[in-house]
Amino acid sequence: MKTFAFSQNTGAGTPDVAGFFDPRTFSIQYVVSDPASRKCVIIDPVHDFEETSGATATHHADELLAYVQAQGLEVEWILDTHPHADHFSAAQYLKAKTGAPTAIGEKVVAVQKLWKELYHWPGFPADGSQWERLFAEGETFRIGELEARVMFSPGHTLASITYVIGDAAFVHDTLFQPDFGTARADFPGGDAHQLWRSIQAILALPDETRLFTGHDYMPDGREPVWESTVREQRETNKHLVDVFEDDFVTMRHERDSELPMPKLILHSLQVNIRGGRLPESETNGKRYLKIPLDALEGGAWE
């Protein structure tokens, strides 16, 4: 199975993009680099977790570090697109290893407020202070000589953002590959109308913009793929061609109602709304997750 792909820059002001696929969570991690300055960012890194044993590991994050070292890159930012519901974020681990600051969109505070109630954490500071920087809509920052821009892309979650870096856009769980469609919108705080509008904003980018997704579920057993273009998505995405907003929303509601919640959603959110921090060790040296019972609909009984 292909678990790595390199997308070369297309000229001045555009990045090299290395994608790393995690078959356990179907997630893609990215190292996005400026070929001129050798500066880079890491987007949506995975901290490994095996739910039946409770084991944690850093195999995938260490793979990113090995690539960075081999390519002679310097990490400037560790970026999350949103608080993930299907894997732990390795942002804190990578921050400790590289010294690079962490960042996410400022709407993460709304997600924190929602989930602190669900976990019954009355003292939890739902203020985004778990990251060094909270990006606002339209805010820009630099990666070496590259300019990066933040687009809010709510719908899948309240806090979802897209990073546009040169001619590349990292669209997290808003769009998937055209043969799989679009993201679900039934998580707490999700909204199918907002998702539609976020997708339209992404599809308004230039036709040849490279789009990089947060997951690939390999329909019909094909190899994993995570790069497309705006034109490809607009012309061939199975959920978008010849579809209007109301039709899309109806489709999403029907489809989402049949999907079970991700198996790690209750495990992951308590780590990820804390910026990728694992629970603190207790007096016996062990860490413990807190799983609220009967908190979400969508139990899978078969």
In the chain, where the domains are located: 4-267
Q: What is the pLDDT of residue 49?
A: 98
* Both tokens assigned to 296: 């979400």
pLDDT of residue 297: 78
| Predicted confidence (pLDDT) per residue in 40-54, tens digit | 999 999 999 999 999
Closest CA to 61 of 105, 26, 98, 8: 98
Q: For residue 38, what are the CA distances in angstroms to 42, 76, 126, 145, 191?
A: 13, 10, 35, 9, 39
Say if residues 22 and 55 touch (Cβ distance below 8 Å). no
Determine contact, residues 85/269, Cβ cutoff 8 Å: yes
Residue 148 CB burial class (10 angstroms; 0-12, 13-18, ≥19): buried
CA atoms of 190 and 156, how far apart (whole Å): 5
The architecture (CATH level 2) of 4-267 comes to 4-Layer Sandwich (3.60)
Nearest Cα neighbor of 42 from 26, 56, 28, 25 is: 28
- What pLDDT, on the 0 to 100 scale, is given for residue 84? 96
CA distance 121 to 292: 11
Residue 64: which of 54, 50, 78, 51 has the closest Cα? Answer: 78
35, 92, 99, 83: which is closest to 61 by C-alpha?
A: 92
* pTM over 0.85, yes/no: yes
Low-confidence ranges of the chain (pLDDT < 50): none
Distances 49 to 44, 53, 187, 265, 271 between C-alpha atoms, Å: 15, 9, 21, 12, 11
**CB-based contact 21:35 (threshold 8 Å):** no
Tell me the C-alpha distance between 183 and 215, whole Å: 10
How much is the pLDDT for 298? 67
The residues near 108 (Cβ < 8 Å, ≥ 6 apart) are 82, 83, 128, 131, 134, 159, 273
Pairwise CA distance, residues 104 & 86, whole Å: 17
Neighbour tally for 139: CB within 10 Å: 16
